[in-house]
């Protein structure tokens, strides 16, 4: 599932490739991924040009020239890919296809849980999912103090809040692994136990790991609009590296279940708070 760095990369590539293109036709193979009927979507967007594309959490927001936003969430196994006029989409695979006045096409595919939603007038506060998203972790307003306020008094495991889209928009189970490792924190640490030095380290780790994800073009299996695959997989520190050595201390990386997700940790760099308390 794409996370914030992957969406940054995808949105930048879409912005570069699609800005100024006018939508001339919409083909919908999976109506349930829409928040209105296929005919109503076509009525709303045909004739509008894309003026810019930006990321928000795990969504890519396509701004249209009459003020609407087309919000795309790739769910699981999703791709947004630019094709030229002569390519023929397989409508058993693609969920939606946008055709442009210059005859280029945008194919939108996902296996599960994807959305292609119209946000009339671009009013994100009117959209049930986008309205609930928490702070953008790369925004200037996301300071160590803001992170401290989000976590203050929370008795649950730290990892749970980092993955909660109502707190921080866009962090998922790929990037969270290296964030916790860089911060030297165990995923089960109760959030309210973090001191201000922990919060500062965690804030720095969030910014660093997300920036690395963007720098390497996105995470494992994630692609930009031209199909270029991200290379962050080659730069994972502990994530998905069970049995390998910690890059910092050489201890063997372990995996554990945290809620419904798997965590990958260095047991030395990220000591279990339950053991420390004994
Ligand atoms: Zn280590």
Contact yes or no for 108/98 (Cβ under 8 A): yes
User: Which segments of the chain have a pLDDT < 70?
Assistant: 276-278
What letter would DSSP give residue 273? Answer: H
Residues 35, 70: Cα–Cα separation, whole Å: 11
Token pair belonging to 231: 């290379």
**What number of other Cβ atoms are within 10 A of residue 249's Cβ?**
10
Q: What angle do CA 205, 249, 212 make, to 5 degrees?
A: 30
Q: 238 alpha carbon to ligand 1 midpoint, in Å?
A: 9
Q: State residue 75's pLDDT score.
A: 87
Domains of the chain: 4-132 (3.20.190.10), 144-276 (1.10.8.50)
Q: 139 alpha carbon to ligand 1 midpoint, in Å?
A: 30
Q: 266 alpha carbon to ligand 1 midpoint, in Å?
A: 5
Q: 143 alpha carbon to ligand 1 midpoint, in Å?
A: 27
Residues 18, 4: Cα–Cα separation, whole Å: 20
Long-range pairs of 218-222 with CB within 8 A, sequence gap ≥ 24: 218/2, 218/5, 218/6, 218/9, 218/10, 219/2, 219/3, 219/5, 219/6, 219/174, 219/175, 220/174, 222/2, 222/6, 222/9, 222/10
Q: State residue 275's pLDDT score.
A: 80
Q: State residue 276's pLDDT score.
A: 67
Q: 177 alpha carbon to ligand 1 midpoint, in Å?
A: 13
Taking only the tens place, the pLDDT of each residue in 137-161 is 999 999 999 999 999 999 999 999 9
DSSP secondary structure letters along 9-65: HHHHHHHHHHTTPBEEEEEES-GGGBSS-HHHHHHHHTTPBEEEEEEETTEEEEEET
Contact yes or no for 36/115 (Cβ under 8 A): no
Q: 185 alpha carbon to ligand 1 midpoint, in Å?
A: 11
Q: How far is CA 183 from CA 29, 31, 50, in A?
A: 44, 43, 39
């Amino acid at each position: 599932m794409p996370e914030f760095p992957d969406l940054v990369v995808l949105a930048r590539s879409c912005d570069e490739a699609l800005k100024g293109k006018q939508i001339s036709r919409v083909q919908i193979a999976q109506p349930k991924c829409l928040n209105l009927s296929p005919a109503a979507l076509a009525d709303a967007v045909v004739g509008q040009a894309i003026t810019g594309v930006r990321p928000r959490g795990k969504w890519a927001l396509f701004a249209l020239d009459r003020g609407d936003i087309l919000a795309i969430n790739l769910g699981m196994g999703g791709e947004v890919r630019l094709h030229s006029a002569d390519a023929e989409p397989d409508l058993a695979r693609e969920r939606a296809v946008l055709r442009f006045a210059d005859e280029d096409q945008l194919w939108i595919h996902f296996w599960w849980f994807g959305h292609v939603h119209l946000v009339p007038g671009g009013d994100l506060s009117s959209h049930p999912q986008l309205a609930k998203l928490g702070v953008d972790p790369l925004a200037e307003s996301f300071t160590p103090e803001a992170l401290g306020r989000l976590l203050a008094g929370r008795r649950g495991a730290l990892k749970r809040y980092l993955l909660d889209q109502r707190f921080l928009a866009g962090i998922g189970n790929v990037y969270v692994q290296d964030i916790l490792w860089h911060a030297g924190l165990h995923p089960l640490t109760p959030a309210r136990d973090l001191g201000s030095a922990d919060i500062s380290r965690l804030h720095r780790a969030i910014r660093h790991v997300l920036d690395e994800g963007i720098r390497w073009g996105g995470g494992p299996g994630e692609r930009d609009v031209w199909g270029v695959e991200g290379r962050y997989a080659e730069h994972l520190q502990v994530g998905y590296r069970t049995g390998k050595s910690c890059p910092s201390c050489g201890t063997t990386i372990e995996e554990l279940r945290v809620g419904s997700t798997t965590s990958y940790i260095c047991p030395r760099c990220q000591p279990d708070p339950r053991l420390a308390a004994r």
